[in-house]
Structure 1
């Protein structure tokens, strides 16, 4: 008899432990689902904020901007049972936006927000699926292990179409390095994915996290030329250029800020181009720069004007002469 009682007690203990473990697992699944919904709400909220920024940019037709703004505000304010319809309407309106008319950084931000919505929705629905699977088990239903926890539901919204390649936003500080003879230093290079297409471009590169534009320009100048110039020797930024282009298989949304720097010898006289070239030290190039930059040269203004080679920025020969002749007037000019 004692043996039977002991066996029953052991079975009861094992069953109780198993039920407690199952209930704990179900609780963790509910916590996971709640966290996934919070992340989805955050992603949807961020998309609504970016949508309002797109509407407020002043680059869309007025009726389209008003509809987009209203849809974003509704998606943020409606109750849960109306959320899916509101989010689908916002997705539809964002799909109609002509993104080529928007600034590169806004296109990048919108694309990032849409990608986060896609990821958050899938993570949430995976969590809901696992939770519902556990709740449907007979023992869970019979023993009411779910307690009073509400049954989660899928987030049934249309995913934004992430068609094409999303451009990576790249903020750059560039330097128009000019000698006393009004010659500007340009590097010759190529896209690593297209070594047959050579281009000429100014000194400069990507702004690192936490860097100011002027500090980044000084750093890039030092790394690419070996020349040390203090920030107060840089004029500007005088120009800003926004462009999208492929680079090493990736689409870049480039936001470039140009500073002007004059390089003279101690007497202020013109230095021969070959002497200036000898002073350029490219040992600070990164591995990517060593692979993609083939050389450098000091260009005169007539050479810039008459060349058939590809030079970026394209309007360098148009806007550099008045900048050198008249000095900077303090205004930031948009160029291409």
Structure 2
């Protein structure tokens, strides 16, 4: 008994200082992310104010003015889950604006406001990255050192072109995606990076862009084969169950994407071996996809990792129960 107490005391003496240091560092990181988000919020608010100044110049038609004012209002008042979409819409409208009609001083002010938004976003996402990296460590999770602090989230909005005085060109991208389930109801996800921001990792579903003239379901079948080696009969795909609209930047290019999600059961065609063939990856996928794994709904809800779609953990159980009602649902 005495020996056990001595061992416990020694462990406490050894771990105690580390626990205190780590908890203190984690607290500072959470404070940093909160401050970084406040900076992002302030720069976005300033951009909305400058947008209203643009609409007050009398240089644009009534329809353009109404769209800009409405977008600025929505962006300012959007709840956090809808903020990215609202801000991306405002970015899109500002990117289409003919800035040659504006006074030079206002062009410079708008460009400065946009630049500050992007800088603040990068600082914020760096803070989120560092905080999540510490929160993901096993001892931190086991000892629950994060306490009741909420999990910080990246703020993903498409970055404008390097010359902010020029219109932003966004590439329209339609994509077919497959929620590939195994016999245990887990979903297959890939972990990837953006070459422009290699320190920020995220998980995403099977799938990719639809080729010109290609049918949606055929694109889902092709993408599943190229990325997993599985030949899924088109008739076995359920859906599209979800639709996701998102604007983002990847490898320095801005995209306006519309994604359609189907459900398929890999166990029907692959058994429960989960042996995947990724030899069909493109050169870009080989550079940016790090690994893959099967995720349960519980793991998705509790993970500190960034996962897209963001509602995957919440909605996955309904797909596993095969309770699709035939309606395509909008997800984030």
TM-score normalized by the length of structure 2? 0.54
Q: Tell me, yes or no, if structure 1 residue 220 matches structure 2 residue 193.
A: no
2:172 maps to: 169
CA contact (8 A) 1:238 1:332 kept: yes
Structure 2 CA distance for partners of 1:93 and 1:233, relative to 1, 3 Å: same
CA contact (8 A) 2:236 2:264 kept: yes
Any idea what the Cα deviations from partners look like across 1:83-134, whole Å, max 9, x if unmatched? xx9965555445434177789998899678x47x78xxx9xxxxxxxxxxxx
1:96 maps to: 69
2:330 to 311, 328, 334: 334
CA contact (8 A) 2:244 2:259 kept: yes
> Number of aligned pairs?
207
2:257 maps to: 254
CA contact (8 A) 1:104 1:255 kept: no
Structure 2 CA distance for partners of 1:283 and 1:330, relative to 1, 3 Å: same
CA contact (8 A) 2:59 2:102 kept: no
Structure 2 CA distance for partners of 1:209 and 1:107, relative to 1, 3 Å: farther
Cα distance in 1 for partners of 2:89, 2:201 equals 30
The answer to which of 100-109 and 242-251 deviates more is 100-109
Secondary structure of the 2:284 match is helix
Structure 2 CA distance for partners of 1:91 and 1:241, relative to 1, 3 Å: closer
Q: Tell me, yes or no, if structure 1 residue 178 matches structure 2 residue 188.
A: no
CA contact (8 A) 1:172 1:254 kept: yes
2:285 maps to: 289
CA contact (8 A) 1:198 1:310 kept: yes
* Shift of residue 292, structure 1, vs aligned partner: 0.4
Q: Tell me, yes or no, if structure 1 residue 231 matches structure 2 residue 204.
A: no
Structure 2 CA distance for partners of 1:104 and 1:170, relative to 1, 3 Å: farther
1:242 maps to: 245
| Structure 1 segment 1-336 matched on structure 2, within 5 A | 88=61, 91-98=64-71, 114=96, 165=160, 166=168, 167-265=170-268, 271=272, 275-276=273-274, 278=275, 280-336=276-332
CA contact (8 A) 1:104 1:253 kept: no
CA contact (8 A) 1:236 1:259 kept: yes
Secondary structure of the 1:198 match is strand
Structure 2 CA distance for partners of 1:261 and 1:105, relative to 1, 3 Å: farther
Any idea what the Cα deviations from partners look like across 1:184-206, whole Å, max 9, x if unmatched? 11111111111111111100111
* Shift of residue 231, structure 1, vs aligned partner: 1.1
* Shift of residue 301, structure 1, vs aligned partner: 2.3
Structure 2 CA distance for partners of 1:220 and 1:103, relative to 1, 3 Å: farther
CA contact (8 A) 1:168 1:253 kept: yes
5+ long unaligned stretches in structure 1: 1-84, 123-156
Larger Rg: 1
* Shift of residue 305, structure 1, vs aligned partner: 2.1
Secondary structure of the 1:310 match is coil
Structure 2 CA distance for partners of 1:86 and 1:291, relative to 1, 3 Å: closer
CA contact (8 A) 1:108 1:169 kept: no
* Shift of residue 226, structure 1, vs aligned partner: 1.2
TM-score normalized by the length of structure 1? 0.53
Aligned Cα root-mean-square deviation (Å): 3.3
Secondary structure of the 2:321 match is helix
CA contact (8 A) 2:71 2:90 kept: no
